[in-house]
Amino acid sequence: MNKIVKLDDLKSIFKDGMTIMIGGFLDCGTPENIIDMLVKLNIKNLTIIGNDTGFPDKGIGKLIVNGQVKKVIASHIGTNSETGRRMNTGEMEVELSPQGTLIERIRAAGSGLGGVLTPTGIGTIVEKGKRKISINGKEYLLELPLKADVSLVKGSIVDEFGNTCYRATTKNFNPYIAMAADTVIMEAENLVKCEELNREDIMTPGVLVNYIIKEVI
């Protein structure tokens, strides 16, 4: 199977009401070209999962400003005033999750686990509606896995099979997000032949990647 495709080839994958997980930390390691395509497609009622909601003109923020997002699950929204405005007016639901808890929920989905036990959030609004479990006299919250229909990730160096290396902080949560969806689309900063990659540097194995697009500069 040829995994390298054009952006136009991906359009049929996306539908209204989907859950989409997006890699990156603010605008670092974020698949901006695929996000721009989603803005043009103007699909609606999306549930978006990511570390944050970017900026109004970058990352997930572009989808929010365009009115495409029904719900967002993230750990940080402070750099995008439009997220806060839509949350306060009831136009968009926001589920805030502590950053460590968020990524563990994503990792749990990718690893086939039934959930994560964490003490983070006990005694705060985070525990509302969640099951508490006591182990050895200490209380934990049961946090359920987060899985998406589609994950969008960005790699620094990607071969034709989808084997991916990430450069420095662009790695952030991309490797975990690549594990937690039915379909994974990789935006490649640099495309290389398989033999050009050092196997020890691969952080996302190609078996997880369904489609690859070359980053447009």
pLDDT average, residue stretch 147-158: 97
Asked if the structure places residue 130 within a domain, the reply is yes
Q: pTM to 2 decimals?
A: 0.94
Does residue 84 register a pLDDT over 80?
yes
pLDDT digits (tens, 9 = 90+) for 25-80: 998 999 999 999 999 999 999 999 999 999 999 999 999 999 999 999 999 999 99
% of the chain beyond a pLDDT of 90? 91
Whole-number pLDDT of residue 217: 54
pLDDT average, residue stretch 194-217: 90
Average confidence score pLDDT of the chain: 95
Whole-number pLDDT of residue 77: 96
Asked if the structure places residue 2 within a domain, the reply is no
Domain with 145 in it: what CATH number? 3.40.1080.10
Whether the Cβ atoms of residue 213 and residue 10 lie closer than 8 Å to each other: yes
Whether the Cβ atoms of residue 110 and residue 180 lie closer than 8 Å to each other: yes
Residue ranges of the alpha helices (H) in the chain?
32-41, 61-65, 81-89, 99-111, 174-177
Euclidean distance between CA atoms 78 and 149, whole angstroms? 26
Whole-number pLDDT of residue 126: 87
Token duo for residue 61: 């923020």
pLDDT average, residue stretch 87-102: 95
204, 206, 212, 217: CA torsion to nearest 10? 40
Q: Which residues contact 166 (CB under 8 A, 6 or more apart)?
A: 29, 155, 156, 174, 175, 203, 204
Q: Using alpha carbons, select from 54, 45, 65, 56 the residue that is nearest to residue 22.
A: 54
Q: Which domain holds residue 111?
A: 7-214
Asked if the structure places residue 192 within a domain, the reply is yes
Token duo for residue 38: 């989603």
Cβ-based neighbour number of residue 204 at 10 Å = 24
Q: Using alpha carbons, select from 74, 70, 38 the residue that is nearest to residue 146.
A: 74
Whether the Cβ atoms of residue 120 and residue 141 lie closer than 8 Å to each other: yes
Euclidean distance between CA atoms 58 and 52, whole angstroms? 11
Does residue 81 register a pLDDT over 60?
yes
Asked if the structure places residue 131 within a domain, the reply is yes
Asked if the structure places residue 1 within a domain, the reply is no
pLDDT average, residue stretch 182-209: 94
pLDDT average, residue stretch 163-174: 95
3-class SS shares of the chain: helix, strand, coil, % to 5: 30, 30, 40
pLDDT digits (tens, 9 = 90+) for 116-128: 999 999 999 889 8
* Count of domains observed in the chain: 1
Whether the Cβ atoms of residue 192 and residue 214 lie closer than 8 Å to each other: no
Asked if the structure places residue 206 within a domain, the reply is yes
Within a 13 Å sphere around the CA of 187, how many CA atoms are in the beta-carbon half?
A: 24
Whole-number pLDDT of residue 116: 96
Euclidean distance between CA atoms 118 and 99, whole angstroms? 12
Asked if the structure places residue 140 within a domain, the reply is yes
Euclidean distance between CA atoms 104 and 120, whole angstroms? 12
Asked if the structure places residue 178 within a domain, the reply is yes
